[in-house]
């Protein structure tokens, strides 16, 4: 009989693959497929046609609809420039914590989900269980939608999905949506002593960034809706986290690049925010072209992540609450793939071990107690699927 690895052994193996979003995840997916195959579990893939990345999904239990889906992503954020005390792609236990890139976000959960799937294969579960492992979550949740679409004609349709992002094993039932735009401001170079005859792309771009500051101030001052009040902060936010441009301090910058991101509270229209931004872009562009007609601003959509809407008597939420005993209300401002499963017709909830505060950090870790709590959750889940 093939070896049945423990959750910790599975996490060790998954962490050993440096699946930073800019790189391939195929070696990890190959290993998972081989491991499942060794236990008689057939897996299926979505193969990205434009880059070397695969998603994987599989099913155990009765071949019928109504499965519970355990969903996680396989990519991690870079470690470049971070002061790690240990090898980020090896799991190191120290002071009651497992250190390693992805231990918290979210290969710890992926390992628990793989363990549960294999155990489900050997158990007499009455309700089917599925796993879905995506890619490119960290760069805008772009890998999950085609994976979910690919699952539909291959596996019996599941009815509920648990997305295992770190939530300290609490039931998170809502999160903000998100949209992002790569913005390229193309100006006209002249000597800075004659700046009135040129167009400084950085200074033009700064008008868009200042617009974002003004909108944030207005949103902060507005009274939030009842739904928005559940979030921290209780309003839609605009953010620019990276910017570059220019060639010298005494030349008006020809180019400026930055990303404008929106985190939109449920109940608000993401498309309206996109249109508001485009309107402001075109106004700034018109000012630029009044000086030099060939200048322009190019906008490229980068991601579009739907919000997770709180469900009335949601199946996924009810199941998680029954297992964890958590009856409090939890909402988060970061985005996940949960809203994408919900848009595809699944009841969805976020529940996974670890704290989001450790995600993406140098010396990322998951507490041993949290990982064990996730293991206990999966044991109880399998018990429920068997009744």
Distance between CA atoms of 4 and 13, rounded to whole angstroms? 13
My answer on whether 183 and 170 are in the same domain is: no
Does residue 2 surpass a pLDDT of 90?
A: no
Count of domains for the chain? 2
What CATH number does residue 257 fall under? Answer: 3.30.70.360
1, part of any domain: no
Q: What percent of the chain has pLDDT over 70?
A: 100
pLDDT category at 1 given cuts 50, 70, 90 is: low
One domain, residues 328 and 235: no
Task: Single out the residue in 277, 305, 333 at which a domain terminates.
Answer: 305
CA distances from 227 to 12, 234, 312, 314 (A): 40, 8, 13, 17
Determine whether 221 is an active site residue.
Answer: no
Say whether both 57 and 149 belong to one domain: yes
HSE-CB at 7 with a 13 A cutoff on CA atoms is: 23
Confidence of residue 328 (pLDDT cuts 50, 70, 90): confident
- Structure confidence at residue 227 (pLDDT): 86
Question: 115-119, 286-290, 305-309: which range is least confident on average?
Answer: 305-309
The angle that helices 315-324 and 368-385 make with each other, rounded to 10 degrees, is 120
pLDDT for position 371? 98
Asked whether residue 203 falls in the same domain as residue 323, the answer is no
Residues 141, 106 contacting (CB under 8 angstroms): no
Same domain for 19 and 134, yes or no, is yes
Task: Over range 151-165, report the average pLDDT.
Answer: 98
User: What is the mean predicted confidence (pLDDT) over 291-319?
Assistant: 95
Average pLDDT, the chain: 96
48, 75, 165, 285: the active-site residue: 75
Work out the number of other CB atoms within 10 angstroms of the CB of residue 66: 14
Range of the domain at 218: 177-305
Question: How confident is the model at residue 238, as a pLDDT?
Answer: 98
Q: Calculate mean pLDDT across residues 204-216.
A: 98
pLDDT digits (tens, 9 = 90+) for 329-362: 899 888 899 999 999 999 999 999 999 999 999 9
pLDDT in tens, 33-50: 999 999 999 999 999 999
pLDDT at 379 over 70: yes
Domain end call among 265, 284, 305: 305
Percent of the chain with pLDDT over 90: 93
Give catalytic status of residue 137 as yes or no. yes
Mean pLDDT of 365-369: 98
Whether the Cβ atoms of residue 304 and residue 219 lie closer than 8 Å to each other: no
Q: Are residues 35 and 112 in the same domain?
A: yes
Q: Which of 105, 110, 136, 137 is catalytic?
A: 137
């Amino acid at each position: 009989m093939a070896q049945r690895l423990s959750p910790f052994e599975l996490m060790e193996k998954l962490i050993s693959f440096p699946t930073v979003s800019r790189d391939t995840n195929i070696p990890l997916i190959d290993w998972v497929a081989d491991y499942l195959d060794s236990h008689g579990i057939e897996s299926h893939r979505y193969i990205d046609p434009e880059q070397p990345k695969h998603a994987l999904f599989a099913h155990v239990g009765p071949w019928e609809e109504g499965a519970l889906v355990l969903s996680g992503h396989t990519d991690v954020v870079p470690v470049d420039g971070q002061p790690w005390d240990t090898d980020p792609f090896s799991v190191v236990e120290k002071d009651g914590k497992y250190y390693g890139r992805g231990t918290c976000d979210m290969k710890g959960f992926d390992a628990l989900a793989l363990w549960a799937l294999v155990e489900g294969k050997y158990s007499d579960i009455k309700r089917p269980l599925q796993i879905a492992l995506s890619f490119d979550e960290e760069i805008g949740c772009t890998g999950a939608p085609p994976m979910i679409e690919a699952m539909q004609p291959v596996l019996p349709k599941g009815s509920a999905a648990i997305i295992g992002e770190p939530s300290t094993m609490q039931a998170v039932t809502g999160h903000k949506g998100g949209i992002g735009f790569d913005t390229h401001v193309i100006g006209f170079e002249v000597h800075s002593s004659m700046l009135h005859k040129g167009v400084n792309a950085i200074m033009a771009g700064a008008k868009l960034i200042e617009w974002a500051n003004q909108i944030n101030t207005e949103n902060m001052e507005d009274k939030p809706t009842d739904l928005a009040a559940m979030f921290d902060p209780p309003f839609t936010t605009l953010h620019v986290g990276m910017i570059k441009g220019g060639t010298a301090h005494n030349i008006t910058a020809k180019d400026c690049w930055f990303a404008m991101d929106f985190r939109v509270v449920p109940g608000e229209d993401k498309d309206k925010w996109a249109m508001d931004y485009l309107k402001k872009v075109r106004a700034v562009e018109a000012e630029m072209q009044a000086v030099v007609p060939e200048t322009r601003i190019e906008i490229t959509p980068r991601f579009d992540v739907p919000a997770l809407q709180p469900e009335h008597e949601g199946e996924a939420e009810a199941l998680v609450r029954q297992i964890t005993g958590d009856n409090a209300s939890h909402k988060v401002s970061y985005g996940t793939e949960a809203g994408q499963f919900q848009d595809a017709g699944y009841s969805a909830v976020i529940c996974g071990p670890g704290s989001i505060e450790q995600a993406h950090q140098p010396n990322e870790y998951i507490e041993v107690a949290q990982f064990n709590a996730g293991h206990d959750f999966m044991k109880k889940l399998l018990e429920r699927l068997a009744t």
